[in-house]
Amino acid sequence: MRIIGTGSMLPQKMVTNEQLSQFVDTSDEWIRERTGIETRCVLSTESLEELATEAAKQALDDAGILPTQLDYIICSNMVNEYVIPSMASIVGGHIGSQCPAYDLNAACTGFLYAMDMAEALLQSGRAENILIISAEAPTRIVDWNDRRTCVLFGDGAAAVVVTRGNALRSIKVSSKSDKSVLYYRRSLEPTPFLIRDKNTGPLCMNGQEVFKSAVTSSLRDMQYVLKQANVNKDDVTYFVLHQANLRIIDFIKSHFGATDEQFPINVNRYGNTSSVSIPLLLDELNKNGKLRKGDLLVFSAFGAGFTSAACVIEWNKSAE
Ligand code: ACO
């Protein structure tokens, strides 16, 4: 594959740490120190499908591709107002595409899982152009009275268009099942036969366990994909990491012995946007003219599951 277009759209409402401290027992100082987050964007007047549609349109424009030229739409999404139809189908309708469209859920790792699927479709010859969208509203699954979780997240959508090419040097996706560390159990409709499971509710997270799993898997995955691609870490222009938490990113950066310039961040402004964070940061780098043809990028993500993934990809947006 080759990435030929990027786009993103965030909710208009930006919430500061100070604003959060007005309704939960927290402080700007605590949140900055422990997470690096200063502000986050949260859904208020707009819907997630509107953000996803706008991100998709931007990515198509950037790629110079018409919706009718798409062969698949894959959307990474954990929760949305609609369970069915899929977010990918909904966005497909909004942009005027009739290609196959489906959602996948690999939590915060979803974007890289979608890249892995897209690569398989492109390699098999079943597709030429694929739209990958990440659309997430984690602020809709947290308890806004729980200071341990509600301060961490932000909403948004981001998208990329990929086409056939040789830019993806290596990719690794993995999953290790553990339901106890990070989960969200939604309530389902009662039936005459079931006693309704009362054990549902907002997002539950063991922060310290997530921290440990995240750094372990990210370091392991990045080392693996660099070796597979025969790339030295010093030759990587940017490590585009899942923006969960600045401390996680700093830990990985120092263990990798990499420079600040190699680790761009935006978690300070947008919080943890789940699977959106990598394509969102990529779009920012692209729009700000920070990417040059031939740049080597490493993506690395980790999330509930416990899922993780990484890849090495060359930035090669214009035709080879
Ligand atoms: N404001 C003030 N105090 C707080 C807050 C807050 N927002 N949140 C927790 N505290 C308190 C706790 O109640 C606790 O108080 P106590 O000692 O009186 O009980 C104290 O701070 C320490 O709590 P810890 O959970 O031990 O704090 P820690 O240093 O581990 O930081 C954090 C918590 C930031 C969640 C950290 O564990 C972390 O970064 N974990 C990674 C989690 C993550 O990134 N999750 C993202 C979602 S998953 C993903 O994207 C893969």
Q: What is the pLDDT of residue 230?
A: 98
Rounded Cα distance between 116 and 122, Å, is 10
Rounded Cα distance between 277 and 279, Å, is 6
Residues 126-140, mean pLDDT to the nearest whole number: 98
Rounded Cα distance between 253 and 313, Å, is 19
Cα atoms found within 13 Å of the Cα of residue 157, Cβ hemisphere only: 30
Rounded Cα distance between 51 and 57, Å, is 10
Q: For 20-69, what is each residue's pLDDT tens digit?
A: 999 999 999 999 999 999 999 999 999 999 999 999 999 999 999 999 99
Phi first, then psi: what are they for 47, rounded to 5°? -105, 160
Kindly report whether the peptide bond that precedes residue 85 is cis, defined as omega within 30 degrees of 0.
yes
What spacing in Å lies between the alpha carbon of 241 and ligand 1's midpoint? 20
Residue 3 belongs to what H/E stretch? Answer: strand 2-9
- Site to probe by mutation for ligand 1, drawn from 27, 31, 34 as the one with most ligand atoms within 8 Å of Cβ, is 34
DSSP string covering 229-260:
HT--GGG-SEEEE--S-HHHHHHHHHHHT--G
Q: Within 6 Å (CB) of ligand 1, which residues are found? A: 26, 30-31, 34-35, 108, 147-148, 151-152, 182, 205, 207-208, 210-211, 214, 244-245, 247-248, 272, 302-303
What spacing in Å lies between the alpha carbon of 150 and ligand 1's midpoint? 10
Where do the H-state alpha helices sit in 38-169? 48-63, 87-95, 110-123, 147-150
pLDDT at 143 over 60: yes
What spacing in Å lies between the alpha carbon of 148 and ligand 1's midpoint? 5
Q: For 254-292, what is each residue's pLDDT tens digit?
A: 998 999 999 999 999 999 999 999 999 999 999 999 999
Q: What is the pLDDT of residue 318?
A: 80
What spacing in Å lies between the alpha carbon of 192 and ligand 1's midpoint? 40
Q: What is the pLDDT of residue 319?
A: 64
State the residue for tokens 């954990």: 78
Which residues have a catalytic role annotated? Answer: 108, 242, 272
Phi first, then psi: what are they for 268, rounded to 5°? -60, -35
The residue nearest atom 31 of ligand 1, judged by CA position, is: 34
CB atoms within 10 A of CB 141: 18
> pTM of whole model > 0.85?
yes
Q: Which two tokens stand for residue 38?
A: 């200063």
Could you tell me if 62 and 7 are in contact, meaning their C-beta atoms sit under 8 angstroms apart?
A: yes
Give 115's contacts (C-beta < 8 A, 6+ positions apart).
1, 132, 162, 168, 171, 299, 311
**For helices 207-229 and 246-256, angle between their N-to-C axes, nearest 10 degrees:** 40
CA distances (Å), origin 179, targets 55, 103, 164, 183, 304: 31, 21, 36, 6, 8
